Structure 1
Amino acid sequence: MGHCYSLDLRVRVADFVEAGHPCRAAARHFGVSDSCAIKLMHRKRPSGSLAPARQGRPPGSGKLVPYESFLIQTVEAKPAITMPELAARLREEHGIVAAPAMLSRFLCRCGFSYKKSPDGGGVRTHRRAG
């Protein structure tokens, strides 16, 4: 994922352009790419803001969110279920294909943790209060 330039640099580039210089000259002067200066001015004109846009997917979205209650009920009913078994149940009952690693990360975000047992197996523990 790309990085965001500081607000100070963004303000200086915008001020330089608003002083009458072209965007490409501002980019050379401040050591940023031409597209950075151009996009910065495109962002400033309609909104007036130079702050960077939020990066990443918005929280609370994803294809597993609608099936959260099904996944939680399944794991609470059978804590020793493996992630491939859970993925197969999800595919059978709802037609959703999900990788076992994705299911594990989702359950961790829901407050479950994975505890290893002495026999080499593991069990999902109950949700943490939170």
Structure 2
Amino acid sequence: MGKSHSADLRQRVVALVSSGQSRRAAARHFGVSNSSAIKLLQRRERTGTIAPARQGRPPGRGKLSAYRDFLVAQVEEKPDITMPELARRLEEKHSVLVPLSDIAGLHI
């Protein structure tokens, strides 16, 4: 996933286009891709903002979201359960194999 351009650069691109330059000319002037300048201005027209969109997967949409209640119940039943134990129970009960880091990412 790429890194967003700075707010300052975004504002300067918009200002140059607002002063009459084309989007491609603004991209060339500031050393960004044509696509970046074009999409930035499209975003401003569509949403009214030039702030970057949130990157990454929305919360609660991961592989384990369907099993969260099961995992929480396991932790409530045995508060000192380890992640390897949780992973094993998940595999035994639901035939789901996941890395321990995925379970840790749930912050149960």
* TM range, smaller chain: 0.7 to 0.9
Name the amino acid aligned to 1:51.
Answer: A
| Higher normalized strand content (fraction of residues) | 1
For CA contacts below 8 A with separation 6 or more, give which structure has more relative contact order. Answer: 2
Match of residue 20 from structure 1 = 20
For normalisation by structure 2, the TM-score amounts to 0.77
SS at match of 1:9: helix
* CA shift digits 1:41-97 (9 cap, x unpaired): 1212222221111112222332222322321332444435451x4323212322333
For normalisation by structure 1, the TM-score amounts to 0.66
Runs of 4+ in 1 over 6 A off after TM superposition: none
Match of residue 47 from structure 2 = 47
Q: Which segments of 5 or more consecutive residues in structure 1 lack a partner in the other structure?
A: 111-130
Name the amino acid aligned to 1:69.
Answer: D
Determine whether 1:92 maps to 2:88.
no
Name the amino acid aligned to 1:27.
Answer: A
Q: Is the 8 A contact 2:13 2:30 kept in 1?
A: yes
Identity %: 50
| Higher normalized helix content (fraction of residues) | 2
Name the amino acid aligned to 1:21.
Answer: Q
Q: Larger Cα Rg: Structure 1 or Structure 2?
A: 1
Q: How many residues align?
A: 107
User: How far off is 1:28 after superposition?
Assistant: 1.6
